[in-house]
Amino acid sequence: MKLPAPPTEKSFRSPLHHPRVATVIGRWLATAVVICFLTGLYSHFQQHTPGWLHIPSRPAELYRVTQGLHVLSGTIAVPLLVAKLWTVYPKLFAKLPWPPSRKALENVLERGSILVLVAAMALELFIGFLNTLQWYPWPFPFKETHYALAWIIVGALFVHLAVKLPLIRANWRRTSADRTAPAESLPPAITGLTRRGLFRTVAGAATLVGITSVGQSAPALGPIAVLAPRKPNVGPQGLPVNRTAEAAGVTAIDADWRFTVKGPQQLSYTLDDLRTLPQNRSDLPIACVEGWSQGARWEGIRIRDLLQLCGARADSRVRVVSMEKGGFYATSELPPEFAHDPLTLLALRLNGTELALDHGFPARIIAPNRPGVLQTKWVHRLEVIT
Ligand X SMILES: Nc1nc2c(c(=O)[nH]1)N[C@H]1C(S)=C(S)[C@@H](COP(=O)(O)O)O[C@H]1N2
Site residues, ligand X (CB under 6 A) = 239-243, 248, 286, 288, 322, 324, 329-330, 359-360, 372-373, 375-378
Q: How far is the CB of 294 from ligand HEM (least distance, A)?
A: 16
What are the φ and ψ backbone dihedral angles of 192, each rounded to 5 degrees?
40, -95
Q: How far is the CB of 349 from ligand X (least distance, A)?
A: 13
Q: How far is the CB of 78 from Mo ion (least distance, A)?
A: 22
Q: How far is the CB of 308 from ligand HEM (least distance, A)?
A: 32
In the bound state with ligand X, the residue whose beta carbon lies nearer, of 113 and 294, is 294
Q: Does 36 bind ligand HEM (CB under 6 A)?
A: yes
Longest dimension (CA), the chain: 93
Q: How far is the CB of 132 from Mo ion (least distance, A)?
A: 10
Q: Which does 64 bind (CB under 5 to 8 A by kind): ligand HEM, Mo ion, ligand X, none?
A: none
**Binding-site size, ligand HEM (CB under 6 A):** 28
Q: Does 41 bind ligand HEM (CB under 6 A)?
A: yes
In the bound state with ligand X, the residue whose beta carbon lies nearer, of 89 and 136, is 136
- Positions in 217-276 near ligand HEM (CB under 6 A): none
8 A C-beta contact, residue 180 and residue 18? no
In the bound state with ligand X, the residue whose beta carbon lies nearer, of 133 and 161, is 133
Instruction: Measure the CA–CA gap between 104 and 96, rounded to whole angstroms.
Output: 8
Instruction: Measure the CA–CA gap between 16 and 342, rounded to whole angstroms.
Output: 56
Beta strands in the chain (DSSP E): 259-262, 266-269, 280-287, 293-302, 318-322, 331-334, 345-350, 353-354, 364-366, 379-384
Q: Which residues pair with 302 in a beta bridge?
A: 345
8 A C-beta contact, residue 285 and residue 65? no
Instruction: Measure the CA–CA gap between 149 and 140, rounded to whole angstroms.
Output: 13
Buried/exposed code over 225-251 (b: 16+ C-beta within 10 A; e: otherwise): bebbbbebeebbbebbbbeebeebebe
Q: Which does 378 bind (CB under 5 to 8 A by kind): ligand X, ligand HEM, Mo ion, none?
A: ligand X
Q: Which does 248 bind (CB under 5 to 8 A by kind): ligand X, Mo ion, ligand HEM, none?
A: ligand X
Q: Does 38 bind ligand HEM (CB under 6 A)?
A: no
8 A C-beta contact, residue 60 and residue 94? no
Instruction: Measure the CA–CA gap between 277 and 32, rounded to whole angstroms.
Output: 47
What are the residues binding Mo ion (CB under 5 A)? 242, 288, 372-373
User: Among residues 22, 25, 33, 250, which is the contact residue for ligand HEM, using CB under 6 A?
Assistant: 33
Amino acid letter at 168?
I
Q: How far is the CB of 173 from ligand HEM (least distance, A)?
A: 26
Q: How far is the CB of 114 from ligand X (least distance, A)?
A: 36
Q: How far is the CB of 236 from ligand X (least distance, A)?
A: 9
8 A C-beta contact, residue 378 and residue 365? no
Buried/exposed code over 47-63 (b: 16+ C-beta within 10 A; e: otherwise): eeeeeeeeeebeebbbb
In the bound state with ligand HEM, the residue whose beta carbon lies nearer, of 124 and 299, is 124
- Positions in 151-170 near ligand HEM (CB under 6 A): 153
Q: How far is the CB of 358 from ligand HEM (least distance, A)?
A: 20
Q: Does 209 bind ligand HEM (CB under 6 A)?
A: no
In the bound state with ligand X, the residue whose beta carbon lies nearer, of 340 and 377, is 377
Tell me the helix, strand and coil percentages in the chain, rounded to 5. Answer: 50, 15, 35
Helix axes 142-171, 102-132, angle to 10 degrees: 130
In the bound state with Mo ion, the residue whose beta carbon lies nearer, of 149 and 288, is 288
8 A C-beta contact, residue 201 and residue 193? yes
Q: How far is the CB of 69 from ligand X (least distance, A)?
A: 17
User: Among residues 15, 74, 362, 372, which is the contact residue for ligand HEM, using CB under 6 A?
Assistant: 74
Instruction: Measure the CA–CA gap between 306 and 138, rounded to whole angstroms.
Output: 43
In the bound state with ligand X, the residue whose beta carbon lies nearer, of 81 and 357, is 357
Q: How far is CA 360 from CA 184, 230, 335, in A?
A: 65, 20, 21
Q: Which residues bind ligand HEM (CB under 6 A)?
A: 33, 36-37, 40-41, 43-44, 47, 70-71, 74-75, 77, 121, 124-125, 128-129, 131-132, 143, 146-147, 150, 153, 289-291
